[in-house]
């Protein structure tokens, strides 16, 4: 009636390494369960009351035995620990050339945005054979992004970014789940991950994703538009001025703070600079920038949504790549087509 499945699909480079460790641990588990289990049963039956067996010279304690059965499991445990930690540390270090995709979790859906601005809900299209890095944040409670076929999972929390990366290996359609309990429809907060051949993925992206009639703005363009609408350029020009520092080329650079501490201007830093500007003040500046944190997720009121912030960060990143990048002081819109927002 059913075909029983014993293992999930294996569709990422990590999944392959993962399963070696998983089955090695399983072998150890089964081995110890059977050995100890059989010993217990064997002893209990052999030394049953009424069995005429030798019971003389039984020990009540035995130091060497105690040491043996403490140290051998310890060494095996440490072996597993080392192997597992090695793999884990790898999962925390995305390669430099990874494809960036952004994910926002909210009750009860996943929302992803590709760098050219294509968005999708409860679906994630990926190219195979390419390392992918997801930068994720939640708009409300904690969620967790889980793709069993990749053996990969990361909590998505409000208030700061978390990341995960993987290299999909096999084109196909895989389950996507939320694995951190998040309220009423937790069990329906999921969908599919679609892994495609890289060329198909490019085509899919270029066509604006699934059922998207108009070409969306890229994330950089959206960020640029926000930068202009909110008049950020008044203080952040192409040069440091009294009102504010220039943002050109600052991404992933070290910045010196008022208290002489040094911070790396990564995604998290940039987000905080917009939402909570006084958390770190640059050397030479005062508390003059307003916070762009919205009152709530339903009432933006002059603030920026998490998605806006991600777009602005992409824009700031783009200010680094070429020295001839348009000076943000007078931001022209890069493309001629009037951007039409795609309703979600």
Partner 1 sequence: MSAVPATQAPAPKPKSYLENGHTVASWLLTGDHKRIAILYLISVSIFFLVGGIAAGMIRTELLLPKGVFLENDSYNKVFTLHGIVMIFFFLIPAIPAVLGNFLIPLMVGARDLAFPRLNLLSWYVYMAAGTLGVIVILLGGVDTGWTFYTPYSSLYSNSQVGLTIAAAFLAGFSSIFTGINFIATIHKMRAPGLTWFRLPLFVWAHYATSVIIILGTPVIAITLLLVGVERVFRIGIFSPELGGDPILFQHLFWFYSHPAVYIMILPAMGVISELISAFSRRPVFGYHFVAFSSLAIAGLGFLVWGHHMFVSGQSMYQGVVFSLISFLVAVPSAIKVFNWTATIYKGTVKLDTPMIYALGFIGLFLIGGLTGLYLSSMATDIHLHDTYFVVAHFHYVMVGGTIMGYLGGIHFWWPKMFGRMYPDNWGKLSAVIVFIGFNLTFMPQFVVGYLGMPRRYHYYYLQPEFQPYHIMSTLGSSVLGVGYFMPVLYLLWSLKYGKKVGDNPWGASGLEWETSSPPPTTNFLEMPIVTKEVYTYDAEKAEEEFEHRQELIEEVTG
What residues from 164 to 223 belong to the interface with Cu ion (CB under 5 A)?
A: 178, 182, 186, 189
User: Minimum Å distance from CB 267 to Cu ion?
Assistant: 23
The answer to whether residue 121 forms part of the interface with partner 1 (CB under 8 A) is no
Nearer to partner 1, 177 or 201 (CB): 177
Binding mask 147-166 for partner 1 (x = CB under 8 A): -xx-xxxxx-xxxx-x----
Residue with tokens 């050109």: 248
Nearer to partner 1, 85 or 121 (CB): 85
The answer to whether residue 255 forms part of the interface with Cu ion (CB under 5 A) is no
Nearer to partner 1, 98 or 142 (CB): 142
Write the CB contacts of 113 (distance below 8 Å, at least 6 apart in sequence): 101, 102, 103, 104, 119, 219, 307, 310
- The answer to whether 8 and 193 have CB atoms below 8 angstroms apart is no
Residue 43 binding partner per list Cu ion, partner 1, none, with a CB distance cut-off of 5 to 8 Å that depends on partner kind: partner 1
Which of 102, 165, 177, 292 is in the footprint of partner 1 by CB under 8 A? 177
- Give the binding range for partner 1 (CB under 8 A) out of 185-193, 232-240, 247-255, 266-274: 185-193
- The answer to whether 282 and 270 have CB atoms below 8 angstroms apart is no
What phi and psi, each to the nearest 5 degrees, are found at residue 232? -60, -30
* d(C-alpha 164, C-alpha 136), whole Å: 8
Residue 112's DSSP bridge partners are 103, 120
Binding mask 270-309 for partner 1 (x = CB under 8 A): --------------------------x-------------
* d(C-alpha 205, C-alpha 104), whole Å: 19
Residue 284 binding partner per list Cu ion, partner 1, none, with a CB distance cut-off of 5 to 8 Å that depends on partner kind: none
User: Minimum Å distance from CB 317 to partner 1?
Assistant: 22
Q: How many CA within 13 A on the CB side of residue 164?
A: 20
Residue 190 binding partner per list partner 1, Cu ion, none, with a CB distance cut-off of 5 to 8 Å that depends on partner kind: partner 1
The answer to whether residue 96 forms part of the interface with partner 1 (CB under 8 A) is no
**What residues between 115 and 144 interact with Cu ion by CB under 5 A?**
143
- Give the binding range for partner 1 (CB under 8 A) out of 38-46, 198-206, 236-244, 334-342: 38-46
Which of 16, 66, 197, 286 is in the footprint of partner 1 by CB under 8 A? 66
- The answer to whether 145 and 136 have CB atoms below 8 angstroms apart is yes
The answer to whether residue 36 forms part of the interface with partner 1 (CB under 8 A) is yes
Nearer to partner 1, 152 or 274 (CB): 152
C-alpha distances (whole Å) from 121 to each of 86, 167, 315 are: 34, 21, 23
Number of Cβ atoms within 10 Å of the Cβ of 155: 16
Q: How far is CA 29 from the centre of its chain?
A: 31
* Residue ranges of E strands in 53-131: 99-106, 109-114, 119-121, 123-127
The answer to whether residue 48 forms part of the interface with partner 1 (CB under 8 A) is yes
* d(C-alpha 137, C-alpha 106), whole Å: 9
- The answer to whether 250 and 342 have CB atoms below 8 angstroms apart is no
Supply 106's token pair: 């909210």
Residue 154's DSSP bridge partners are 145
Which of 16, 27, 121, 181 is in the footprint of partner 1 by CB under 8 A? 181
* d(C-alpha 305, C-alpha 294), whole Å: 7
User: Minimum Å distance from CB 95 to partner 1?
Assistant: 16
Residue 241 binding partner per list Cu ion, partner 1, none, with a CB distance cut-off of 5 to 8 Å that depends on partner kind: none
* d(C-alpha 166, C-alpha 133), whole Å: 7
- The answer to whether 197 and 171 have CB atoms below 8 angstroms apart is yes
- Give the binding range for partner 1 (CB under 8 A) out of 187-195, 254-262, 321-329, 336-344: 187-195
**What residues between 74 and 93 interact with partner 1 by CB under 8 A?**
74, 77-78, 80-81, 83-89, 91-92
What residues line the site for Cu ion (CB under 5 A)?
Answer: 143, 178, 182, 186, 189
């Amino acid at each position: 009636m059913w075909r029983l499945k014993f293992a999930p699909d294996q569709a990422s480079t990590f999944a392959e390494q993962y399963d070696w460790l998983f089955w090695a641990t399983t072998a150890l588990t089964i081995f110890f369960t059977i050995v100890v289990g059989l010993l217990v049963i064997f002893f209990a039956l052999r030394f049953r009351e009424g069995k005429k067996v030798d019971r003389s010279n039984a020990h009540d304690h035995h130091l060497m035995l105690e040491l043996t059965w403490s140290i051998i499991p310890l060494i095996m445990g440490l072996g597993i620990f080392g192997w597992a930690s090695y793999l884990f540390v790898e999962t925390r270090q995305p390669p430099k050339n990874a494809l960036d995709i952004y994910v926002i979790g909210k009750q009860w859906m996943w929302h992803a945005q590709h760098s050219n601005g294509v968005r999708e809900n409860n679906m994630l299209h990926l190219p195979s054979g390419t390392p992918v890095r997801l930068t994720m944040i939640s708009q409300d409670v904690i969620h967790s992004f889980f793709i069993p076929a990749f053996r990969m999972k990361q909590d998505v929390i409000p208030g700061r970014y978390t990341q995960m990366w993987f290299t999909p290996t096999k084109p196909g359609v895989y389950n996507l789940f939320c694995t951190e309990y998040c309220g009423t429809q937790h069990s329906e907060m999921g969908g599919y991950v679609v892994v495609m051949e890289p060329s198909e993925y490019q085509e899919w992206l270029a066509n604006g994703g699934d059922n998207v009639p108009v070409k969306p703005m890229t994330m950089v363009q959206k960020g640029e538009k926000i930068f202009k609408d909110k008049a950020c350029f008044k203080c952040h020009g192409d040069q440091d001025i009294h009102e504010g520092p220039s943002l050109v080329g600052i991404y992933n650079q070290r910045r010196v703070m008022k208290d002489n501490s040094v911070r790396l201007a990564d995604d998290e830093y940039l987000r905080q600079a917009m939402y909570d500007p006084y958390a770190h003040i640059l050397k030479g500046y005062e508390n003059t920038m307003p916070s762009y944190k919205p009152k709530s997720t339903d009432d933006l009121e002059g603030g920026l949504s998490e998605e806006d912030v991600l777009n602005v960060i992409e824009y700031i990143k783009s200010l680094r790549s070429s020295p001839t990048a348009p000076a943000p002081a007078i931001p022209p819109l890069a493309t001629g087509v009037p951007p039409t927002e795609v309703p979600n």
